[in-house]
Amino acid sequence: MIAAAATSIKAPYIDWAAFSPIVALICGAVIVLLIGLLPGRRVREQIVPGATVLTLLATLGLTIWQWGENTSIISGALAVDRLSLVLNVVFVATGLVTVVMSLRERATVQAGQGEYYTLLLASLAGMAVLVAAQNLVTLFVGIELLSIPLYVLCASELQREKSLEAGLKYLVIGSVGSATLLFGLSFIYGATGSTDFSGIAAALSSKGETIASNPLMLTGLGMAVVGLGFKAAIAPFHQWTPDVYEGAPSPITSFMSVATKAAAFGIFLRFMDVAVIDEALTWQPLLAALAAITIVVGNVGALAQTSVKRILAWSSVAQGGYLLVGIVVSSAAGLEATLYYLVVYVVMNLAAFSVVVARERETTHGDSLSAFAGLGSKRPILAVPMTIAMLSLAGIPATAGFIGKLNLIGASVDGDYAWLGVLIAIGSAISLAYYLRIVAVMWMPDRRGDSPETDRPHGQPEIIGLAIICSAATIFFGIIPSPIYDLVRGAGESIGLL
Where do contacts with other proteins occur on this chain (CB under 8 A)? 2-3, 6-7, 9, 11, 30, 33-34, 37, 376-377, 391, 394-398, 402-403, 405-407, 409-410, 413-414, 418, 421-422, 424-426, 428-429, 432-433, 436-437, 440, 443-444, 446, 481-482, 485, 489
- Eight-class DSSP state of 72: E
Nearer Cβ to other proteins (7/206)? 7
Nearer Cβ to other proteins (229/481)? 481
CA distance 373 to 391: 18
* Residue 443 Cβ vs other proteins, minimum distance, rounded to whole Å: 6
Helix (H) and strand (E) counts in the chain: 24, 2
Q: Which uninterrupted H or E stretch holds 79?
A: strand 78-80
Exposure string over 444-475, b if 16+ CB within 10 A, otherwise e? ebeeeeebbeeeeeeebeebbebbbbbbebbb
SS3 73: strand
SS3 326: helix
Nearer Cβ to other proteins (223/371)? 371
Nearer Cβ to other proteins (16/459)? 16
* Residue 83 Cβ vs other proteins, minimum distance, rounded to whole Å: 17
* Residue 453 Cβ vs other proteins, minimum distance, rounded to whole Å: 22
CA distance 366 to 357: 9
* Residue 413 Cβ vs other proteins, minimum distance, rounded to whole Å: 4
Nearer Cβ to other proteins (440/469)? 440
* Residue 7 Cβ vs other proteins, minimum distance, rounded to whole Å: 5
* Residue 239 Cβ vs other proteins, minimum distance, rounded to whole Å: 27
CA distance 316 to 304: 15
* Residue 410 Cβ vs other proteins, minimum distance, rounded to whole Å: 5
Judge whether 299 and 240 are in contact, CB under 8 Å: no
Nearer Cβ to other proteins (180/392)? 392
* Residue 3 Cβ vs other proteins, minimum distance, rounded to whole Å: 6
* Residue 140 Cβ vs other proteins, minimum distance, rounded to whole Å: 19
* Residue 253 Cβ vs other proteins, minimum distance, rounded to whole Å: 26
In 3D space, the residue among 298, 301, 233, 240 whose CA is nearest the CA of residue 261 turns out to be 233
* Residue 425 Cβ vs other proteins, minimum distance, rounded to whole Å: 4
Nearer Cβ to other proteins (3/206)? 3
Judge whether 11 and 38 are in contact, CB under 8 Å: no
Exposure string over 398-425, b if 16+ CB within 10 A, otherwise e? ebbbbbbbbbbbebbbebebeebbebbe
Nearer Cβ to other proteins (8/206)? 8
Q: How many CA atoms lie within 13 A of 94 on its CB side?
A: 36
Nearer Cβ to other proteins (281/479)? 479
Report the DSSP beta bridge partners of residue 79. Answer: 72
Nearer Cβ to other proteins (281/418)? 418
Q: How many CA atoms lie within 13 A of 104 on its CB side?
A: 13
Nearer Cβ to other proteins (94/368)? 368
CA distance 56 to 21: 9
In 3D space, the residue among 460, 468, 474 whose CA is nearest the CA of residue 357 turns out to be 460
Judge whether 394 and 431 are in contact, CB under 8 Å: yes
Nearer Cβ to other proteins (153/333)? 333
SS3 133: strand
Write the DSSP string, 220-243.
Answer: HHHHHHHHHHHHHT-TTS-THHHH
Judge whether 143 and 178 are in contact, CB under 8 Å: yes
* Residue 201: other Cβ atoms inside 10 A: 19
